[in-house]
Amino acid sequence: MKHLLAASDLSRDAATAILDDADKFREALLGRDVKKLPTLRGRTVITMFYENSTRTRVSFEVAGKWMSADVINVSASGSSVAKGESLRDTALTLRAAGADALIIRHPASGAAQQLAAWTREDGHGGPSVINAGDGTHEHPTQALLDALTIRQRLGGLEGRRVVIVGDILHSRVARSNVSLLSTLGAEVVLVAPPTLLPVGVSEWPVTVSHDLDAELPAADAVLMLRVQAERMNGAFFPSAREYSVRYGLSEKRLAGLSEDTVVLHPGPMLRGMEIASSVADSSQSAVLQQVSNGVHVRMAVLFQLLVGAGREVIA
Amino acid sequence: MGDSTDRELLSAADVGRTISRIAHQIIEKTALDAPDAPRVVLLGIPTRGVTLAARIAEKVKEFADVELPTGALDITLYRDDLNFKPPRALASTSIPEGGIDDATVILVDDVLYSGRSVRSALDALRDVGRPRMVQLAVLVDRGHRELPIRADYVGKNVPTSRSENVKVRLLETDGTDSVAIAPYGGPTR
C-alpha cells in the first residue's frame, strides 16, 4: 500500500490488518516509561494542514514521533501559502526537502488524490500520501479509529448496528465511516434532517431515517457528528436549538439507550448542541478512547505505508 | 505436515524431555526456589517462543512449586531487516505485572541462528525497563551466529548447513511436537 487516500480503497483484509496492528502497537507501548519504537528512524513525515485541527494533527505527530520519525508540521497560515503559493508548489517543495510521507488536510475534496498524482516519481518513488481530511470527501484514519473503538467496546463489528447522526451532507467522517463500516460487515443507519442528507444517499449501503428516537433503541453504537457550519452557505435548519432538540443526544436519550451501547464523536464537540455535556462525559462515551486509538491507528498506517519492501504480508 | 525428505531430530517425547531439562537447568542456575530468590520473568519471542515459555513455566511449577511470571515480547518493530523484506504482521506483546525492572529476564525462542532476533529482543527490552540480568533459553541452537550472542540454556545443539531449514513444531500451534531438518525450505520465518 503506497497511499491512504480513502476508506473506500480499503478491502476488508487491509482494513482489518490496520486495526489489528493498531492493537499491537497499543500492547507494545503499554506500561512503558519510554514510549519509543525505532521503526521509522530516519524517515521524514511532513503534515500539511490547510484547515484547523487539534486531534488529527497532534495524533499524527505523536504517532510519528513515537516511532522515531522526524515529524514537521506545516500549517497554511504560517507558511508561504499565505503569500499565494499553490498546493502543487508546496507539495513539490516538501518532497524536494526530503519528505517520505505527506499528511494532508485541505478544504477541497480530492486534494489528497491530486497531491499523490503531483508528487509521484517513476518506479514506486515519491512520498506516501495520507489523507487527513479532504473537503467533504473522506477522512480514512478517522473511520479506522472509530471502527477500532467500536470493535474494542463491542467485541466485534460484524452485524453490529451503527447509527450516525447529524450533518451527513458536509461530513467526510460520515462518508468514510459508511464505507469502512459496511466493508467490515456492520449495518449503518444515517439519521439527519432531510436538508442535511446528500443527493444520492439512497445509493449508499445504509438505511436513512429522520427520527432519532426511533433509531436509538436498536443501536449498538451511536456516532454523533458536529454541524459543519464552516462548510455551510445556506440555512439548513430553522435554529440551532431546534436542531439540538430533534437531533441532539440529550441526557434523556442516553438514558433510553441500552447500557452496552457505545457513544462516539469524532470531535471537536459542541457541548449542548449535538451532544449534552453530561452525555459527553458519561461512561458510555468513548471519545477519549477514540483519541488514544487514533494515535495507534496512525502508527499502524505509517508502519504499513513506510516500512517493508514489496507488497505481500508475511504472517 | 512433514516432508518425506525431512530428517527428524526430536520426537514428541524428546521435545517434552528437553523442555523438562531446560526447566531443571533454569531452577538450578537461577536458584529461583531459594528464600531470597531473585524475581525471574520468562519472555517468549512470538510465535513458538511464547508457547515454549508457557511450557517451561508449567514445568518449573511442577518441579519447584514456583509460578514464574510469563509473557511475550514481539520483536517485529525492532528487526534490522524491516526495510529489506516485505511488510510483516505484528505479534502481541504482554509484559507480566510487576514489569522487568531488576528482574532476571529469560528470553525464550525456538531456534537460535544468526542471533539477530535475540539482538532485536535486547533492543526491545531496553525500552521496556532495566532487568538486572538477561538470559536466553532456546530449544535448538543451529550455529551460524552473525553476532556475538550465545544461549544460557540450550535444548539441542544441531549443526546445520545454511541451505537447510530447521522446523520446530509444537502441539499448541502445529498439532504435534517435533523438531526436524528439511534440506531446503528457505528461512523458517
pLDDT digits (tens, 9 = 90+) for A258-302: 999 999 999 999 999 999 999 999 999 999 999 999 999 999 999
Strands A101-106 and A44-49, bridge-based pairing? parallel
* Percentage of residues in chain A having pLDDT higher than 70: 98
Average pLDDT over residues A296-312: 86
pLDDT digits (tens, 9 = 90+) for A127-171: 999 999 999 999 999 999 999 999 999 999 999 999 999 999 999
Chain A residue numbers with beta carbons less than 8 Å from the beta carbon of B93 are 24, 27-28, 30
Q: Which amino acid is at A197?
A: L
Asked if B128 has any chain A CB less than 8 Å from its own CB, the reply is yes
pLDDT digits (tens, 9 = 90+) for A193-219: 999 999 999 999 999 999 999 999 999
ipTM of the complex: 0.85
Cβ–Cβ under 8 Å, residues B155 and B138: yes
Strands B153-157 and A262-264, bridge-based pairing? unpaired
Q: Which helix (H) or strand (E) holds B43?
A: strand B40-44
Cβ–Cβ under 8 Å, residues A124 and A152: no
Which pLDDT score, from 0 to 100, does residue B187 have? 52
Chain B residue numbers with beta carbons less than 8 Å from the beta carbon of A297 are none
Please say if the pLDDT value at position B91 is more than 70.
yes
Strand order, beta sheet including B178-182: B7-10, B178-182, B165-169
Alpha-carbon distance of A135 to B189, in angstroms, equals 44
Average pLDDT over residues B146-173: 95
Q: Which residue has the higher pLDDT, B70 or A54?
A: B70
pLDDT digits (tens, 9 = 90+) for A25-66: 999 999 888 899 999 999 999 999 999 898 999 999 999 999
Cβ–Cβ under 8 Å, residues B84 and A309: yes
pLDDT digits (tens, 9 = 90+) for B46-59: 999 999 999 999 99
Q: From the CA of B129, how many Å to the nearest CA of chain A?
A: 8
Across the interface, whether the CB atoms of B94 and A38 are under 8 A apart is answered no
**Residue holding cell 433510553?**
A256
Q: How confident is the model at residue A23 (pLDDT cuts 50, 70, 90)?
A: very high
Nearest in space to A169 (alpha carbons), one of A144, A206, A194, A134: A194
Which pLDDT score, from 0 to 100, does residue A229 have? 83
Q: From the CA of B89, how many Å to the nearest CA of chain A?
A: 5
- The neighbouring-strand residues paired with A314 are B88
**Residue holding cell 432519532?**
A212
Alpha-carbon distance of B96 to B108, in angstroms, equals 15
pLDDT digits (tens, 9 = 90+) for B23-44: 999 999 999 989 888 899 999 9
Q: From the CA of B27, how many Å to the nearest CA of chain A?
A: 28
Which pLDDT score, from 0 to 100, does residue B186 have? 53
